[in-house]
Amino acid sequence: MITGETLLYGLVAHPAHHSLSPLIHNMGFDQQAINARYVVFDSQSQPAAVSQAIDTLGIAGINLSMPYKQTMRPFVDTLSPSAQLSGAINTIKNDNGRLIGINTDGDGFWRALQQASPMQNRAQTVILGAGGAALAVIEAAASYGVQTLTVFKRANQTYPQVAKRLAKIATTRHITINLYPFDDEVALQQTLATTDCLINATNLGMQATPGFPIAPRLIAQIPSACLCADLIYAPRETAFLKTARLTNHPTLNGLGMLVEQAALSFEFWTGKTLVTAPIYAALTEENKQ
Cβ–Cβ < 8 Å for 64, 12: yes
Burial category of 33 from C-beta neighbours within 10 Å (exposed 0-12, middle 13-18, buried 19 and up): exposed
Q: What is the dihedral of CA 242, 112, 139, 28, to 10 degrees?
A: 120
> CA–CA distance from 124 to each of 147, 192, 193 (Å)?
6, 10, 11
Residue type, 229: A
In the chain, the amino acid numbered 31 is Q
* Residues assigned a catalytic role: 69
Instruction: Classify burial at 152, counting beta carbons within 10 Å of its beta carbon; exposed 0-12, middle 13-18, buried 19 or more.
Output: buried
